[in-house]
Amino acid sequence: MAKVDRRVEPQNVFDEISKWLLRDGFDIVIDMDKSKGSHMINKINGEDWLDFYTFFASAPFGMNHPKLDNPEFKETIFRAAINKVASSDIYTEQMAQFVKTFGEVAVPEG
């Protein structure tokens, strides 16, 4: 079976989305690599947009702490994200790591 290339170039994003969905959002295609902090970069033209979403249906693009942007963390979160384990029924090392860290850092003493 031949591998199908399903990539869509930034300049074709709006047309492709309009074929399948109501496209009534902003005229911006976020550059997920160059956008940082409170700035969203439009992948079509390089414009820098100040992110004022502030939790309107999503977190601001740059809300994540810079320490989350490292290869080790990305590998860990990627494996968890693609498998979507039902953590309340099936256990993983990642879940144990999370609850241990949460308990040690976020739970008040006593």
Question: What is the reported pTM?
Answer: 0.61
Q: Distance between CA 48 and CA 34 in Å, rounded?
A: 10
What pLDDT shows up at residue 31? 87
pLDDT band at residue 57 under the 50/70/90 scheme = low
Determine which helix (DSSP H) or strand (DSSP E) holds 23, and give its type and residue range: none
Which residue ranges make up each domain of the chain?
8-63, 64-110
In the predicted model, is pLDDT for residue 45 greater than 90? yes
Q: Distance between CA 97 and CA 110 in Å, rounded?
A: 22
Determine which helix (DSSP H) or strand (DSSP E) holds 48, and give its type and residue range: strand 48-50
In the predicted model, is pLDDT for residue 6 greater than 90? no
Q: Distance between CA 34 and CA 41 in Å, rounded?
A: 6
For residues 67-74, average pLDDT: 85
Question: Count of CB atoms within 10 A of residue 41's CB?
Answer: 20
Residue-wise pLDDT for 79-100, tens only, equals: 777 776 665 666 777 777 787 8
